[in-house]
Structure formats: C-alpha cells, structure tokens
Amino acid sequence: MSTAKRVRTAILISGRGSNMVALIEAAKAADFPAEIVLVAANLPDAGGLERAAAAGIATASVDHRPFGKDREAFERALDAELQAHQIELVVLAGFMRVLTPWFVTRWQGRLINIHPSLLPDFRGTHTHARALEAGVAEHGCTVHFVVPELDAGPTILQAKVPVLPGDDEASLSARVLEQEHRIYPQALALVASGAVRLEDGTALGA
Ligand code: GRF
C-alpha cells in the first residue's frame, strides 16, 4: 500500500454511471492519487447509485426537484453532503444539472467534467447526433475543468475517434464512450496528483 495521502473525491452522476465505474476501478490501484469516497446523484433512481453501493462506496441522493427553480438551494444541499464527507475534489460523470457560478466558484480548480465531444466543438447536448449531422471526420471526448460558462473550461485531456461510414448515434457514442472510460481515470490522476492544475484560467501542465 502506498502511504501517500489520497485526495478525497466525490463523483456526481445522474444516470447509469459507466464512467463512474471506470473511475472506481482505476482508483482501486494502491498508487492511484484519488480515493473515491462518495457517489452522489440528483435523481434517487440513478442506476449508478446501486453500482456504487455494490462497490462499497458511500452514496447520497439529493433530489433537485423539490428545490424547483432554485438551483443554488439544491447546490447548497449537495455541497453539505460533500462537506460531510470532507470531499476535496468533485468529478462530474454524466451529471445532467447545469451548475451555478456559486457552486463552480466554490469548487474552482477542484471540479472536473467529461464532455462527449472534442471541445470547443459541440458544447451542450446531443453531441453525437450533431457531429454526424455536421459530417465531421473526427469526434471524441474532452475532460476539462469546470468554469461558470457551460462546457467552456480548459482542457485536461482529449481523445479522438474516427467517424466511420455508416455510423449512427449508437455506434459513434459507443466508440467515444470507450475512450471516455480510458481518459477520465487518467485525467483524474493528473488533477489529484497536482500534475495538472487550474491557474489563471488555463490548465497548467496539460
Ligand atoms: C457520457 O457520455 C458523458 O460524457 C456525458 O454523459 C454520459 C454519461 O454516461 N456527460 P455514464 O453515466 O458515465 O455511463
């Protein structure tokens, strides 16, 4: 066992959590610089919660719906869970809530996301359909620091895949997802170890 202190990390999800599983698996290595101590979801029936519990990780669900339009009130409840678990780093993995500047600023430099496109191309949703529609030859995924502007934070790691003749949304998203599962653990390790950090709006070391 490594004696280095591992960074206490939470993963936030809304759905099935395949990236979450890849991160949990990677973090089992004794020399991985992050420890996954909490998985939290904004939907109590997010499939990933069961998978996290099965892996022996603490779970929390903070349903955003009772908070209505008050995004910050929801985030304060979520933040309370993060504080209760002494979280140092927050990883968004298919977390489908737009975060307010309050939350993003609070976790600045300690909040990362994976987006299924080669940012700055195709910010927002339905990235695979839009890539096919645009007829691009290459597509992929990006891990980035989160900043208040949506999908606009500095890149930590990117992976490219070809768009092949006959691709549809399902085949393209599967090809991208495979790369997500590969680079997200790598990117988390880079940030948790301090090899890459957010400084003056850039990802230093990336
Ligand atoms: C991934 O494609 C991720 O890039 C996007 O949402 C999807 C989540 O998938 N933000 P999963 O829940 O990790 O399987």
What pTM value is reported for the model?
A: 0.96
What's the CA gap between 86 and 73, in Å, rounded? 20
The rounded Å distance from CA 180 to ligand 1 centre is 8
For 101, phi and psi rounded to 5 degrees?
A: -55, -30
| Domains (range + CATH), the chain | 7-197 (3.40.50.170)
- Asked if pLDDT for residue 2 goes beyond 60, the answer is no
The answer to whether 128 is a known catalytic residue is no
What confidence tier does 3 reach under pLDDT thresholds 50, 70, 90? low
pLDDT for 154-170, tens place per residue? 999 999 999 999 999 99
User: What per-residue confidence (pLDDT) applies to 1?
Assistant: 54
Closest residue by Cα to atom 14, ligand 1, is: 18
Nearest-atom index, ligand 1, CA of 115: 4
